[in-house]
Structure 1
Amino acid sequence: MAGHRACMFSVALALLGVLLGSIPAAVQSIGVCYGVNGDGLPSASEVVQLYQSNGITGMRIYFPDADALQALSGSNIDLIIDVANEDLASLASDRAAATAWVQTNVQAHQGLNIKYIAAGNEVGDQGGDTGNILPAMQNLDAALSAAGLGGIKVSTSVSQGVTAGYPPSQGTFSAGYMGPIAQYLATTGAPLLANVYPYFSYVDNQAQIDINYALFTSPGTVVQDGANAYQNLFDALVDTFYSALESAGAGSVNVVVSESGWPSAGGTAATTDNAQTYNQNLIKHVGQGTPKRPSAIEAYVFAMFNEDKKGPAEIEKHFGLFNPDKSPAYPISF
């Protein structure tokens, strides 16, 4: 009898293992953006240790910071490296410049898990000429392929301002340059990197948007869009991107959320409670996907640290999960 119970227990454990293995692990889908526009920030090696000790498995850096790249070697942290907006023009006009960029910032560093290179961040809004994005992407792809690094995908990071349309099924690209970029991504298999901020949507439309919809705390469906029911604004914004990609003839392109977060001070509804609620719920939620795409979402929380040199708006200084002394800005679990 004892042997029978032991056998049944082993079978139960095996079944539990299968069931657990079938559940998307949110921790595998969540990274954090590492910005350096602050005083008194820890060294890059300390930052990498902080990622590892908190179970954060992905990092986005906004320029190819040699100290960060050196510290990341052998860390197994997945990485997005941005091309600075001001560098896009040279990469777009000169394939040799793209080759040199890849040699200096990719090939010269060993032991990195580079997943994506972002050809600019919110180009146009944050500086730079949007006409340079696609040729820079093409030249970077050619340079990576020539170096035997075609597994690294090249994209660009865009704000939700490049889309329009409501409800999510009506999403289109409002920026004319996005159609050709989307179609190019469909040919390379790279995702579109999208910065998704329910916070700003809420602040700009408080009469229409309930804060619980923005914080993932609505008790039920808020927006019914055909067969798709939306209980949170994050999913609605991501699915607006998917509809825009479909309308551009690029429905095969995946969306990676390259930034999302909530400020803890400095503006409307910017409290530590709201920031903690949003970011913790985001971390819990990404494994579920969206109504249009119910597979796990790859997302990067903005940002690792409060950065006192950001601005001009005060709120820009307060998106950090951690303070410069490495203490948590509020409790968060990955």
Structure 2
Amino acid sequence: MVGVNIGDTLTPTPWAPEKIEQALAQARSSGYFSCDAVKFWHCDASRVLPTAQQDHIRKVMVHANNHEMLSVSDWRAWVETHLSPVVGGLRGQRVHKEIFLAVGNEALAPWHVEMFGRRLVPCMKEVYTALLQTGLSDRVKLVTPLEMSILGASYPPSAGQVAEAHLEVVSEVVRFLVRIGSPFCINVYPFFAREHASRDFVLFGPDEGYTDGEGGCLRYTNMFNAQFDAVVTGISKLKDCIVGADQLEMVVTEVGWPTAGSGMADKESARRFTAGATLASTKGTPLRPGRLDVYLFELYDECQQDGAAHEKHFGLFDIGGCPK
């Protein structure tokens, strides 16, 4: 399954629902990607529902952002105000929708961990209690997207291991996800490791890659598969203390390639990468063969993104709506 992030919080003029659907229809008709799912960076029913109610959408993810983890004192009220209208608006649709609520994003990343890291698991538990209280726990799956810095080792994939600094919190997250039956979500960006491998290896091009696993039974020909399987390995190694850790479903909540702003950030590279990531969603990885849920980052450029210049150019479409 291929979905797309719709990040309309860091642009001066968020797209109207009609413009979003036009872009998604254009992507589907061109064969660029199927778009079976959408992921919003907020939980505003007025902006989520017009897109989420479309028949081609099977999965919908909304967010309680990092700062809400600190500022919200009554999660039941938050759920009733923000999430319940989304769930209600998707009830009775011709096509059943799976609904996910993401609590925070990359809370353990180096730029976030000091402020949000210790708050993550307590907040997830508070939100889940609110879902129970409002009768939504059977309708909404609670998740939290993490990123590659949770690993202390990632090469080769069989060496994947949770970093000691994050072991306690990641273990608590995994234990909780196993208990409530939710998937483990990870953001995977080969772009940020592009200087450590060949161009073809990071762009899903023809590359011999390398073998890994017992007896060299697994072959890695692209960095996406290698990074994802390093996470699979790292989380699976927690099975000795967390029953079911090695069976957790894994979802890629962000994966993308910018079209400008730094080395190898260009339209041709982005097209190649997106095509490869889309194909990976149908084939899976050496450790997790089969279909994989992947959310492309992102539908259109967010010109108010902080950080390096390329952060403003991850969109599949430019801010005006032209495909790249």
CA distance in 1, matches of 2:102, 2:258: 24
Question: Aligned residue for 1:244?
Answer: 234
Match of 1:213 among 198, 201, 204: 201
Question: Aligned residue for 1:118?
Answer: 102
Question: Aligned residue for 1:178?
Answer: 170
Secondary structure of the corresponding residue to residue 142 of structure 2? strand
Match of 2:7 among 19, 35, 41: 35
Question: Cα distance, 1:264 vs. partner?
Answer: 0.7
Q: Is the 8 A contact 2:4 2:296 kept in 1?
A: yes
CA distance change for structure 1 residues 48 and 272 in 2, over 3 Å: closer, same or farther? same
CA distance in 1, matches of 2:98, 2:82: 11
Match of 1:62 among 38, 41, 44: 41
1:111 counterpart letter in structure 2: G
CA distance in 2, matches of 1:256, 1:195: 9
CA distance in 2, matches of 1:168, 1:296: 19
> What is the 5 A alignment of 1:100-119?
100-109=77-86, 110-112=88-90, 113-119=97-103
Match of 1:140 among 110, 123, 127: 127
Match of 2:270 among 267, 275, 280: 275
Question: Aligned residue for 1:7?
Answer: none
Question: Cα distance, 1:144 vs. partner?
Answer: 1.6
Question: Cα distance, 1:255 vs. partner?
Answer: 1.1
Residue 234 (1) aligns with residue 224 (2): yes
Question: Aligned residue for 1:46?
Answer: 19
Larger displacement relative to structure 2 (76-85 or 273-282): 76-85
Question: Aligned residue for 2:181?
Answer: 189
Which ranges in structure 1 are unaligned for 5 or more consecutive residues? 1-28, 330-334
Question: Cα distance, 1:73 vs. partner?
Answer: 5.2
CA distance in 2, matches of 1:321, 1:289: 22
CA distance in 2, matches of 1:315, 1:84: 23
Larger displacement relative to structure 2 (35-44 or 148-157): 35-44
Question: Aligned residue for 1:168?
Answer: 157
Residue 79 (1) aligns with residue 60 (2): yes
Question: Aligned residue for 2:295?
Answer: 300
Per-residue Cα deviation, 1:240-260 (whole angstroms, up to 9, x for no partner): 111111112211211100000
Question: Aligned residue for 2:305?
Answer: 310
Q: Is the 8 A contact 1:256 1:298 kept in 2?
A: yes
Question: Cα distance, 1:219 vs. partner?
Answer: 3.6
Residue 287 (1) aligns with residue 287 (2): no
Q: Is the 8 A contact 1:162 1:173 kept in 2?
A: yes
2:316 counterpart letter in structure 1: L
Question: Cα distance, 1:40 vs. partner?
Answer: 4.1
Tell me the TM-score normalised to structure 2 length: 0.85
CA distance in 1, matches of 2:210, 2:7: 34
Question: Cα distance, 1:82 vs. partner?
Answer: 1.5
1:320 counterpart letter in structure 2: G
Question: Aligned residue for 1:14?
Answer: none
Larger displacement relative to structure 2 (272-281 or 55-64): 55-64
2:315 counterpart letter in structure 1: G
Match of 2:70 among 82, 89, 108: 89
1:231 counterpart letter in structure 2: T
CA distance in 2, matches of 1:201, 1:100: 41
Per-residue Cα deviation, 1:68-117 (whole angstroms, up to 9, x for no partner): 224235224221111110111355xx5xx121121112212333335221
Over the matched positions of the two proteins, sequence identity in percent amounts to 26
Secondary structure of the corresponding residue to residue 121 of structure 1? coil
Tell me the TM-score normalised to structure 1 length: 0.82
Match of 1:322 among 299, 317, 323: 317
Secondary structure of the corresponding residue to residue 79 of structure 1? strand
CA distance in 2, matches of 1:180, 1:73: 31
1:43 counterpart letter in structure 2: A
